[in-house]
Amino acid sequence: MEYDWICGKSAYLKSLFSQIQFAGVLCGTFSFGAVSDVVGRKPVAVFALSLGILMNFVTGLAPSYQLLLGIRFFLGLSVGGTLVVVCTFVMEMLLPKQRMALRAFFNWGVARLMMTLIAMALPEWRMSSIACAIAALPALIIIVFVFPESPTWLHNKGKLEQMKKSEKHIAKMAGVPYVPVEHQKIEHSKTILEMLRTKGLMRRLFVLWSMWFVASICGYATDLNSNTISGDLFVNQILFPSSSPFPK
């Protein structure tokens, strides 16, 4: 209402608002993952979360819609980086059998549920943006002061002593005794072209890419059109993330 985006002359900017943010998500998804492979999971995860918190906070203070549109691109950049890097970072500290539970229950749905509850409590959009920034602070603090660097990344980089320290730290956090595991030495990391030429690997990658592509289209199509569903907006927004673990 403030910028005349609803039933006003500038209503078209509401769509542009989302388009700019998702352009940032696309750029963040491609760039942050590649950077984290080089410099490490933890520093990139800290940067992505810090950028998102800052941009959410600044959104609540934006003096004009032009500046608001620019801020949303960088917020989208942070979202893309967080989806790729933070998720990978946490997954690499878990056992394979534990990852499915994390993927099902602690994901975008939880964040969406939190955001809905914040919007219900603080319907004014500026206050909601600032509250979302504050709500994300505990995650940043945990990553900075509690989590070590990913042992998987350290192993891939040949930093075996640091990898053992990271594994000991994770075992201490989990409250279990540290049991050294002999890791296979990585002789050579495959390039993208080599992966595409490896028949069995390419087939598995194609299936995985197809699954995530379809899941992303369905997920975003539901999210971006959920406000058109009949019924109470907030109730619908609570029901969607609450039911998301079951299909996963």
pLDDT given at position 206: 86
Helix (H) / strand (E) element for 232: namely none
Tens digit of each residue's pLDDT (9 = 90 or more) over 113-150: 888 889 889 988 889 999 999 999 999 999 999 999 99
pLDDT at residue 246 tops 70: no
**Average pLDDT across the chain, whole number:** 83
Is pTM, for the whole model, over 0.85? no
pLDDT at residue 85 tops 80: yes
Residues 184 and 93: their CA atoms lie apart, in Å, by: 17
pLDDT given at position 3: 62
Q: How confident is the model at residue 244 (pLDDT cuts 50, 70, 90)?
A: low
Residues 171 and 102: their CA atoms lie apart, in Å, by: 18
Span 97-112, average pLDDT: 69
Amino acid occupying residue 180: P
Neighbours of 92 (CB within 10 A): 19
| Phi–psi pair at 129, nearest 5 degrees | -65, -45
Residue 116 sits at the vertex; the CA angle it makes with 12 and 53, to the nearest 5 degrees, is 80
Joined together, the tokens standing for residue 202 give 């390419």
pLDDT given at position 45: 94
Max Cα distance, the chain (Å): 65
* CATH 3.40.50.720 correct for 13-147: no
pLDDT at residue 7 tops 80: no
Neighbours of 57 (CB within 10 A): 17
Radius of gyration of the chain (CA): 20
Joined together, the tokens standing for residue 113 give 């549920």
- Per-domain residue ranges for the chain? 13-147, 190-248
pLDDT given at position 187: 61
Helices (H), the chain: 13-39, 41-59, 65-81, 87-91, 96-105, 108-121, 125-145, 151-156, 160-174, 192-197, 199-225, 233-243
Residue 156 sits at the vertex; the CA angle it makes with 154 and 158, to the nearest 5 degrees, is 70
Tens digit of each residue's pLDDT (9 = 90 or more) over 143-191: 999 999 999 899 888 888 899 999 899 888 888 888 887 777 766 666 7
Which residue from 90, 101, 239 is spatially nearest to 152, judged by alpha carbons? 90
pLDDT given at position 200: 79
Q: Which residues contact 121 (CB under 8 A, 6 or more apart)?
A: 131
* DSSP designation for 182: P
Highest mean pLDDT among 9-13, 17-21, 58-62: 58-62
